[in-house]
Amino acid sequence: QKEVEQNSGPLSVPEGAIASLNCTYSDRGSQSFFWYRQYSGKSPELIMFIYSNGDKEDGRFTAQLNKASQYVSLLIRDSQPSDSATYLCAVNNDYKLSFGAGTTVTVRA
Amino acid sequence: GAVVSQHPSWVICKSGTSVKIECRSLDFQATTMFWYRQFPKQSLMLMATSNEGSKATYEQGVEKDKFLINHASLTLSTLTVTSAHPEDSSFYICSAMRVAADNEQFFGPGTRLTVL
């Protein structure tokens, strides 16, 4: 069983719509959770992180964490063509990050 | 702040040669740095954890004699791919952990290695 699983996509949404990304993890002891965006040929860039159950909002992005269900999600509101990228979910255990395979998002203009 | 650089950004070498990749934290000290490898269409895989002044800790399946890691200072870690072969061609990415409440990792821009 993979440690971190994501819907592989691709996920295609029209401009201005909400993109919803999901991630599940296997280790209940995981402490913190990160969403990264990666453009083709580039390294990941941090979008946001979350530690506590519930929602965390940062601009057009909202991360949701449910530790009981071992589930993390990312919502992208008012999607823009520049949001087209691969989104990586990462889980922190003892300072090590385990990454999911990523979900490729395409925002149609 | 929290900028991490990598050098070179890309390298092409012949099979059997060794390649050194540098990872530097430019505006903070990083006692811990991480090296990842990413093959096309795949996610990042942690290769090793590099701690300043001590031996690196390698993940299962990563050959420590092939991927030599040196973390000689609080701002520099190097990865040397020894006797590189075409199957070592990949995108190598380092990250540096800033010691703070969140222990956030900051990623370098990556190094594209192509072994002919």
DSSP conformation letters of A5-68: EE----EEEETTS-EEEEEEES-TT--EEEEEEE-TTS--EEEEEE-SSEEEEETTEEEEEETT
* Residue A82 burial (C-beta neighbours within 10 Å; 0-12, 13-18, 19+): exposed
Confidence of residue A40 (pLDDT cuts 50, 70, 90): very high
Contact across the interface for A98 and B46, Cβ inside 8 Å = yes
Q: Which residue has the tokens 């002891």?
A: A29
Q: In whole angstroms, what separates CA A74 from the centre of its chain? A: 5
CB-CB contact of A52 with A105 (8 Å):
no
Min Cα–Cα distance to chain A from B14, Å: 22
Give the whole-angstrom CA distance, residue B94 versus residue A51.
Answer: 23
Task: Report pLDDT digits (tens) over B47-65.
Answer: 999 988 888 999 999 999 9
Task: Report pLDDT digits (tens) over B65-113.
Answer: 999 999 888 899 999 999 999 999 999 999 998 876 566 789 999 999 9
A12: Cβ–Cβ under 8 A, 6 or more apart, which residues?
A: A105, A106, A107, A108
Min Cα–Cα distance to chain B from A109, Å: 24
